Amino acid sequence: MATEKIKVSCFNCGTTNLFPLGSQGKAVVCGRCKTDLPLPGTILEPAPQQVYNLIHSSSLPVLVDFYSPTCAPCLMMHPILERLASRRRGEVMVVKVNIDRHPEMAQGLGIRAVPTFVVFHKGAERGRQAGAMAEDSFALWVASRS
């Protein structure tokens, strides 16, 4: 029986790989650079350089959540973001950037408020939304930009 495979992009080099869902906890590595791949549908907080690698090299759209752990609307959006990442696994990479830890990244991308969500595809910004949204509106907004 064939194992279902889902697209996922490598945080190290940005290459999109097919991730076998039946890997049962075994490490799955990038076919290009041999770095461990993230589990599809999970939200991770990669280092800034890894976020830039995804933004510029991933063939999948990348949704970046710029947030602060002390921001109530940011905390409210977290479960919505988790559900979206799970539903859209293989279609969109979802990452978070803590602006308190990485203010230079937020400043460099013109982030002025949290939460701010930005969709990138192949190095180009496809949309930006500041503030919390209802789950259905947020899902439609992401879908229209990815």
pTM of the model: 0.94
139 versus 2: the higher-pLDDT residue is 139
Give me the architecture of the 40-145 domain, per CATH. Answer: 3-Layer(aba) Sandwich (3.40)
Active site residue 13: no
Q: Which of 10, 13, 30, 74 is catalytic?
A: 74
Which letter, b or e, does each residue of 65-78 get, where b requires 16 or more Cβ atoms within 10 Å of its Cβ?
bbbbeebeebeebe
Q: What is the pLDDT of residue 2?
A: 58
Which tens digits make up the pLDDT trace of 2-41?
579 999 999 999 899 999 988 777 889 999 999 999 999 9
The DSSP result for 56-75, as a single string, is: HH-SS-EEEEEE-TT-HHHH
pLDDT tens-digit map of 45-58: 999 999 999 999 99
**Quick one: pLDDT at residue 63?**
98
- Note if 71 is an active site residue: yes
**Whether pLDDT at 86 is above 60:** yes
First to last CA, the chain: 32
Give me the pLDDT at residue 125, please. 97
The structural domains of the chain, with segments of one domain joined by +, span 40-145
